[in-house]
Structure 1
Amino acid sequence: MNKIPIYFFPGMSSTSLIFERLEWDTSRFELHFLEWLPCKKNEDLITYTQKYIPLIQQKNPILVGVSFGGIIAQELAKLIDVQKIIIISSVRSNREFPKRFKWAKYTRLYKLLPTGGVEFILHLIARYGNEKQKRRVELYNRYLSIRDPHYLNWCIRTVLNWDQKEDLKGVIHIHGTKDEIFPFKNIRSAIEVKGGTHAMILIKYKWFNQNLQKIILNSINEKES
């Protein structure tokens, strides 16, 4: 039996380590965990996404993307044939953005965000914060380790200016009801994860271990029937 190829795209600032708690039947699935590629200052989203095409070795793969990785997965699906797209803690179009995103885009105040100070702030918390704050910094250091200001600025600008007005076909959306980045009230059609936050790929990993493989297999069966 041919294995089902799946390519994973992490969220902004994160690496493929965010998927490490997920369990898979490797006799059925062939897993490929991708990382963020270098970006140029004024690079557009299409040009950036094209860089991933040589990394996709199998035909008609399934793409799984978290947060901004979900946007990348959807953009990549416009360029290559895919079997299915699964986005987690993400959006299917800019119509699902919260109002603050739209406000930030049109005022361009996002350019004033102090992305270069992230490391300094985390260092202060790690040194002077309480135990809960220090544990949170340890998690950030493990799972949100990409903090180059140039990269962060590019990501923020690219997300805010994503020009996707309609939902793509073939997208399965999984979203938490407590998502603080993309509020659930703005999400129009998704598999609901009760109490899931934006980081639910880590915190709600048991839910994903119970459901994600079934969701993928059911979607394939529906397509073939």
Structure 2
Amino acid sequence: MKKHLYFIPGTSASSKIFERIKLPKHLFEIHLLDWIQPLHKNESIASYTTRLSTFVKEPNPIFVGVSFGGIIAQELTKHFKGSKVVLVSSIKHQDEVTPFLKFVRKTKLYKIYPVSFINLTEKIMYRFATKKLKRTLDSYRYYLSLRNKTYTQWAIQSFVTWKQNQPINTLHLHGTKDFVLPVKNIKNVTLINGGTHAMILTKSTTIQHKIINYLA
């Protein structure tokens, strides 16, 4: 019987980031979960994942979440008995973030994140960019396609304020060169040598092998 894997991308990213993940089709069936629009910037994760869970149609699902998608994956398991989680470049507990993010949480600086200004800056940069920089920005736009104000504010606030009292038992893959969520702050991980926060794109072969070995 096939195992059904539901892949959840990171903040603002589309499911295109999983294009390079190839799993044996006779063993696994891949389902891609794209972000849905939050009802408003203060929608709770519980409410959001309840709505997102309606897109999961198979029993005993296995959720594979990248970065903030890993948090959503862990919350989705509350809706499905017998489900499992694989985390990539993510966290299992609120204390696994950097001291700066803890400061942002405590001071509530996430409430003043300048979404509109950052999007405008990107447009200006693209207009005057070199060909090399334009290629980088094009790649950024290809993979990080969801950047409207309500979603971005909701995602940042939800990530920073997320709490989990007891870390779950999971396969947690984390890169040794992840500077967004440094591995020194994280416990019980399987290290991917040279992996960055974007290793789902750059270390896809290694990641898929780790997933196959874990689930098989």
The verdict on a shared fold, with TM-score over 0.5 as the criterion, is yes
Per the alignment, in what secondary structure is the counterpart of residue 78 of structure 1? helix
| Cα distance in structure 2, aligned partners of 1:163 and 1:209 | 28
Normalising to structure 2: TM-score of the pair?
0.94
Deviations 1:96-117 (A, max 9, x none): 0111111001111222221112
Per the alignment, residue 118 of structure 1 pairs with 118
Ranges in structure 1 where 5+ consecutive residues have no aligned partner: 218-225
Ranges in structure 2 where 5+ consecutive residues have no aligned partner: none
Per the alignment, residue 213 of structure 1 pairs with 212
Deviations 1:78-137 (A, max 9, x none): 221134210100000101011111100111122222111233222222222334422221
Per the alignment, in what secondary structure is the counterpart of residue 52 of structure 1? helix
| Cα distance in structure 2, aligned partners of 1:114 and 1:88 | 27
Q: Displacement, 1:156?
A: 0.6
Which deviates the most, 187-196 or 127-136? 127-136
Per the alignment, residue 129 of structure 1 pairs with 129
Per the alignment, in what secondary structure is the counterpart of residue 27 of structure 1? coil
Per the alignment, residue 18 of structure 1 pairs with 17
Per the alignment, residue 44 of structure 1 pairs with 44
| Cα distance in structure 2, aligned partners of 1:29 and 1:13 | 26
Per the alignment, residue 173 of structure 1 pairs with 172
Q: Does 1:203 align with 2:205?
A: no
1:62-101 equivalences in 2 (<5 Å) = 62-101=62-101
Deviations 1:54-91 (A, max 9, x none): 21111111110001110001011122113421010000
| Cα distance in structure 2, aligned partners of 1:165 and 1:79 | 18
Per the alignment, in what secondary structure is the counterpart of residue 77 of structure 1? helix
Per the alignment, residue 223 of structure 1 pairs with none
| Cα distance in structure 2, aligned partners of 1:197 and 1:148 | 25
Counterpart amino acid of 2:6? Y
The answer (yes or no) to whether the contact 1:95–1:165 under 8 Å persists in 2 is no
Per the alignment, residue 102 of structure 2 pairs with 102
Per the alignment, in what secondary structure is the counterpart of residue 57 of structure 1? coil
| Identical positions, percent | 37
Counterpart amino acid of 1:120? L
The answer (yes or no) to whether the contact 2:77–2:83 under 8 Å persists in 1 is no
Which deviates the most, 14-23 or 45-54? 45-54
Normalising to structure 1: TM-score of the pair?
0.90
The answer (yes or no) to whether the contact 1:21–1:205 under 8 Å persists in 2 is yes
Per the alignment, in what secondary structure is the counterpart of residue 198 of structure 1? coil
Alignment RMSD (CA, Å) = 1.4
| Cα distance in structure 2, aligned partners of 1:62 and 1:130 | 42
| Cα distance in structure 2, aligned partners of 1:162 and 1:126 | 34
| Cα distance in structure 2, aligned partners of 1:40 and 1:78 | 20
Return closer, same or farther for 1:165/1:129 CA change in 2, 3 Å cut-off. farther
The answer (yes or no) to whether the contact 1:118–1:147 under 8 Å persists in 2 is no
Residue correspondences, number: 215
The answer (yes or no) to whether the contact 1:63–1:82 under 8 Å persists in 2 is no
